[in-house]
Amino acid sequence: MLDVRCRSGVVAVEFALVLLPFVIVLLAIIETGYVALTRTIIDGAVASASRQVRTGIVQESADPLGTFRTTLCLEVGLVIDCNLVVLDVTSFQNFPDPAALPPVGATDSFNAGTSDEITLVRVTYRWNYITPFLQNLTLPEGNEYVASAIFKVEPFLRD
């Protein structure tokens, strides 16, 4: 006869009920930390690589796009795949209207400008989620991050 007061399997049943929500919350915390780390690293890399453009080092090199990409990839290479980064460097005579800027394309665009021009650096990174269910909870474009810097290129002397 079955004894309904028997408590020998209660812990296993409670553990099974609590395990799934706990794992989901744990994975969401890990994913959020990964996203925050990635964004912080990209922001720092854009600031560092943009400094090379601002001072004219990139413009005076033999391969400006390659020099800029190398500088950027040295900063982000430990955490993200630099091949997934899309660069958009554009120069203007005056500060542009942010609403009029086109979105970053799928391929690199590089025009660093010359002394005293305004340069906009945008770096786009599309990360892959560690946990697929979080991908379903965000918007389709929710896994794309754009870091940017805008500045006036400093006067630099050419040899």
Q: Are 150 and 91 in contact (CB under 8 A)?
A: no
CA distance 75 to 65: 16
Residue 51 is assigned to a structural domain of this protein? yes
Q: Is there a domain that residue 157 lies in?
A: no
Report how many domains make up the chain.
1
- Quick check: is 31 in a domain? yes
Read off the pTM.
Answer: 0.79
Beta strands in 2-157 (DSSP E): 85-92, 109-110, 118-126, 144-152
Could you give the CA distance from residue 124 to residue 103 in angstroms, rounded to a whole number? Answer: 10
Token pair, residue 154, equals: 């400093």
Tell me the per-residue pLDDT of 15-73, one tens digit each, with 9 for 90 and over: 889 998 898 888 888 888 888 888 899 999 999 999 999 988 888 889 999 999 999 99
Domain residues for 77?
10-152
> Is residue 3 assigned to a domain?
no
For residue 141, tell me if it sits in a domain.
yes
**Mean of all residue pLDDT scores within the chain:** 84
Angstrom distances, CA of residue 12 to CA of 1, 7, 19, 138: 22, 10, 10, 33
Q: Let me know if residue 5 belongs to a domain.
A: no
In a domain, 63, yes or no: yes
Q: For residues 107-121, give the mean pLDDT.
A: 87
Q: Both tokens of residue 113?
A: 């400008």
